[in-house]
């Protein structure tokens, strides 16, 4: 039961405020009510109407909300203002500073039982964890956000679901990540819940897992859906800053409802900034398609665009993924030294526990570059390191291909038995290109 529905709590609060202001029950009651009514209300024996509470709030000099809930009138608006500040900090790439702001907000929201603010702060902390590579902590924040939003419609829960799926994906749990994203897409599309922003987050989020599982056709389709759903805005950061400034002015003037409206617009724009960062995955996908078609210059342009978007947010795990693809294009363009330098930078930013898939991809490509330079010893070392990183991730298509490459290298150097072992290992991981083990693709949105 909330304080608003509890006449005893409200009655006690009215009495405390009346005494603190030195008013008698008669002074508080007049002219609309009687002292006897105020006495009955203060004892908790009557449920006051909204009209009565508004009269009492005006006489006591407090806001209606503060009288009915016990929260200061500007508390929620002030927290929302600080939420947009944290979102701005995160949108500009300062994930660690944003996490500190979200943590403080979460503590206050929990103290006042503000579920909506709690959920937003938890989502923010989860996104910061993804950016800094603290995947276990990020997953826990997203799970807590899902629990906080358990009664909300599915589109409202999508950011938390998508965040949890991405945390599993970046940890190398590909199939479970795809399962979470595909099942949510199906529930939205088949249930007629065609929320463009929710669908955009899910389609953008599923591209990476599809690619690593060898489901290239699904990845391409998801990218096209995401790009078709993408909202258009001129300069959302600038407009959001304007709304925040307006909100501060309105709060100072006591125009709380109008300030709330400005803050809601600012929050939406900052969320769109994050969505625009998600679209880096779509530019990456286009770059991949161009590379597969041999359009290497166009591929380089798209991949550099994706890398710039991700680096601006210091999203190390995402940018490493794109950097490996870009290095492959550079190698194919004959710029192998530039490609190798980019790959070594990727490996310096990652560890086997944080970004195993991307580290494996970097080692694989460094092996190819070493082979082309006839350095078979270095090539074998990179292939073996990539193989050990991939085995626990379940990236079947990559494993099979890598085993073939290692087997070919061993065979060329005269180690036939070792080559056969590598080929047998690869056969055990073979999957059909463009498919997953999860059944049909999700239902399509009305794009």
Quick: pLDDT tens for 207-255: 778 877 777 778 777 777 776 776 543 446 555 655 665 565 565 556 6
Cα separation values, 104 from 87, 112, 179, 250, 342, Å: 13, 13, 34, 24, 38
pLDDT of residue 61: 83
From residue 332, how far is each of 123, 292, 364, 372, 402 by CA, in Å?
40, 11, 14, 11, 18
Out of 266-275, 339-348, 436-445, pick the least confident: 436-445
The mean pLDDT of 12-17, rounded to a whole number, is 89
Which three-class secondary structure state does DSSP give residue 354? Answer: strand
- With b for 16 or more beta-carbon neighbours within 10 A and e for fewer, the 172-181 pattern comes to bbbbbbbbbb
Mean pLDDT (the chain) is 80
The pair of structure tokens assigned to 46 is: 């009557």
Residue 188: predicted pLDDT: 87
Pinpoint the alpha helices (H) of 191-295: 196-212, 216-229, 236-252, 256-278, 280-292
Reported confidence tier of residue 425, pLDDT bands at 50, 70, 90: confident
pLDDT of residue 237: 53
The pLDDT, as a whole number, for residue 431 is 45
Per-residue pLDDT band for 160 (boundaries 50, 70, 90) equals very high
Half-sphere exposure of 317 (CA within 13 A, CB side): 25
Higher per-residue pLDDT: 358 or 41: 41
Measured on CA atoms in the order 345, 355, 87, 182, is the torsion positive or negative? positive
What confidence tier does 315 reach under pLDDT thresholds 50, 70, 90? low
Q: pLDDT tens digit string along 326-371? A: 999 999 999 999 999 999 988 887 665 556 777 888 888 899 999 8
Q: Supply 292's token pair.
A: 């597969």
> In terms of pLDDT, which residue wins out, 42 or 262?
42
Q: Is the pLDDT of residue 324 over 80?
A: yes
Does the pLDDT at position 4 exceed 70? no
Half-sphere exposure of 237 (CA within 13 A, CB side): 10
Q: How many C-beta atoms surround the C-beta of residue 292 within 10 A?
A: 11
State percent of the chain over pLDDT 90.
Answer: 22
Q: Which residue has better confidence, 388 or 335?
A: 335
Question: Residue range 154-166: average pLDDT?
Answer: 92
Least trusted range by pLDDT, from 35-44, 210-219, 379-388, 394-403:
394-403
Banded model confidence at residue 125, pLDDT cuts 50, 70, 90: very high
Instruction: Please check the confidence at residue 1 and state whether its pLDDT lies above 50.
Output: no
Task: Report the share of the chain in percent with pLDDT over 70.
Answer: 79
Question: Model pTM?
Answer: 0.61
User: Which range is most confident: 77-81, 122-126, 228-232, 316-320?
Assistant: 122-126
Radius of gyration (C-alpha) of the chain in whole angstroms: 28
**Residue in 334, 363, 196 with CA at minimum distance from that of residue 275:** 196
Contact present, 159 and 123 (Cβ < 8 Å): yes
Q: Phi/psi of residue 351, each to 5°?
A: -145, 165
214 conformational bin, left if phi > 0, alpha if psi -120 to 50, beta if neither: left
Question: Between residues 2 and 405, which one has the greater pLDDT?
Answer: 405
């Amino acid at each position: 039961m909330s304080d608003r529905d509890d006449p005893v709590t409200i009655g006690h609060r009215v009495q405390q405020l009346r005494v603190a202001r030195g008013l008698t029950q008669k002074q508080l009651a007049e002219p609309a009510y009687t002292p006897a009514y105020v006495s009955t209300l203060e004892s908790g024996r009557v449920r006051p109407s909204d009209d009565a509470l508004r009269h009492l709030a005006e006489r006591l000099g407090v806001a209606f909300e503060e009288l009915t809930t016990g929260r200061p009138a500007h508390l929620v608006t002030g927290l929302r203002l600080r939420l947009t500040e944290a979102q701005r900090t995160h949108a500009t790439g300062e994930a660690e500073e944003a996490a500190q702001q979200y943590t403080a907000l979460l503590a206050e929201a929990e103290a006042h039982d503000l579920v909506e603010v709690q959920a937003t702060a938890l989502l923010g902390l989860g996104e910061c964890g993804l950016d800094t590579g603290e995947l276990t902590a990020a997953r826990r924040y997203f799970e807590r956000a899902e629990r906080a939003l358990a009664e909300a419609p599915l589109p409202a829960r999508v950011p938390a679901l998508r965040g949890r799926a991405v945390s599993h994906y970046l940890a190398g749990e590909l199939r479970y990540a795809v399962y979470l994203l595909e099942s949510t897409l199906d529930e939205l599309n088949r249930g007629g819940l065609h929320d463009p922003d929710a669908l955009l987050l899910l389609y953008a989020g599923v591209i990476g897992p599809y690619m690593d599982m060898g489901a290239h056709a699904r990845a391409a389709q998801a990218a096209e859906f995401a790009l078709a759903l993408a909202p258009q805005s001129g300069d959302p950061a600038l407009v959001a800053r304007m709304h925040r400034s307006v909100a501060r002015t309105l709060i100072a003037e006591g125009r709380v409802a109008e300030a709330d409206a400005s803050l809601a617009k600012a929050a939406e724009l900052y969320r769109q900034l994050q969505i625009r960062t998600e679209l880096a995955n779509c530019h990456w996908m286009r770059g991949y398609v161009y590379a597969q078609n041999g359009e290497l210059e166009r591929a380089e342009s798209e991949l550099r665009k994706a890398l710039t978007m991700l680096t601006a947010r210091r999203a190390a795990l995402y940018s490493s993924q794109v950097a490996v693809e870009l290095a492959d294009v550079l190698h194919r363009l004959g710029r192998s030294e530039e490609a190798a330098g980019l790959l070594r930078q990727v490996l310096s930013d990652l560890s086997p526990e944080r970004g195993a898939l991307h580290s494996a991809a970097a080692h694989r490509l460094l092996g190819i570059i070493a082979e082309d330079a006839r350095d078979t010893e270095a090539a074998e070392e990179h292939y073996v390191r990539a193989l050990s990183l991939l085995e626990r991730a379940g990236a079947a298509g990559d494993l099979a291909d890598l085993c073939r490459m290692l087997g070919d290298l061993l065979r060329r150097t005269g180690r036939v038995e070792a080559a056969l072992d590598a080929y047998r290992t690869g056969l055990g991981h073979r999957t059909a290109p463009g498919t997953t083990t999860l059944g049909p693709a999700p239902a399509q949105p009305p794009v």
